[in-house]
Amino acid sequence: MKTALITGINGMDGSHLAELLLEKGYKVYGLERRSSSRHRKNLKNIESKITFVPGDLTDQNSLLRALEVSKPDEVYNLAAQSFVKASFDIPEQTSNVTGMGVLRMLEAIREYNKPVKFYQAGSSEMFGKVQETPQIETTSFYPRSPYGVAKLYGHWITKNYRESYNMFNVNGILFNHESERRGIEFVTRKITDGIAKIHLGIKDHILLGNLDAERDWGYAPDYVEAMWLMLQQDKPKDYVISTGVKYSIKEFLTMAFKVIGIDDWDKYVKQDARYMRPAEVDMLIGNSSKAHKELGWKPKVNIQEMIKRMVNNDIKLLKKQYEL
């Protein structure tokens, strides 16, 4: 039986990955900060099957102890301060967790000194002000936020330790991906939650920032499978994971409002300067040919189906919450 240690296990990706690994017969450990144990709602169906170990990406000794307790074959580093807008408000904390946290985990693995395969959760935000379209593994990076810069440090230090110490380290450069478990502060979930509230008469509009930004959106359960596949290869490599199709926030809104039968959504959406980023990333679209060819990976759920699932799930959650 293989053993995996997941950081960020309580988040969207972490919970989907934990489910996948349990299905594959893994023993799953989750690194958890003391303050995070009350945030296990994404794991409610599998919580009893996971062993939680205390640890924090800002404390290297705790990471080494977590490795010694879990004895993992694979480590998936998904923990981060991952909200891009917030990274402008808390740049130092973002850098400490999202950037330096990767170094601390790699150093802990090196000190642990047993064969461990390491997955680093990269981000399309590292491409930022894109230098070529679509973006592939060799595209130059140009991050436009403290979050993107921190993720880029994590990317390069993962690569550096792979080359310097012959470690099995991979970077997954994942483009935007969502699911019913996405945090409410993210624009996609803000939209689906807002639409569910409009549908149920709880509110009459949604406040959003830039509606013209274009993204390449996939479904999170498909993307965690790509993470797992990367660590099953003979050689460690980096991969772009994306759908290869881009949509604007406006197009996302159109598809989401259609789920509740509204075609003209203008009067339901208001723009608010508070949600604008100081430096915007206008357009991201990936090319995952390398992952298709070498990993045999392709996305299964398209954006329309994903949005439908998210809106319907939010309607269900709100009906329960408001006893409707």
Q: Which residues are catalytic?
A: 123, 125, 147
State the pairing for strand pair 117-123/27-32: unpaired
Residue type, 266: D
Say if residues 154 and 96 touch (Cβ distance below 8 Å): no
Ramachandran assignment for 25, one of left (phi > 0), alpha (psi -120 to 50 degrees), beta (any other): left
Q: Which residues contact 293 (CB under 8 A, 6 or more apart)?
A: none
User: Is residue 172 within 8 Å of residue 119, measured between CB atoms?
Assistant: yes
The H or E element that residue 121 is part of is strand 117-123
Residues 6+ apart with CB under 8 A from 294: 233, 237, 239
CA gap 180, 194 in Å, rounded? 14
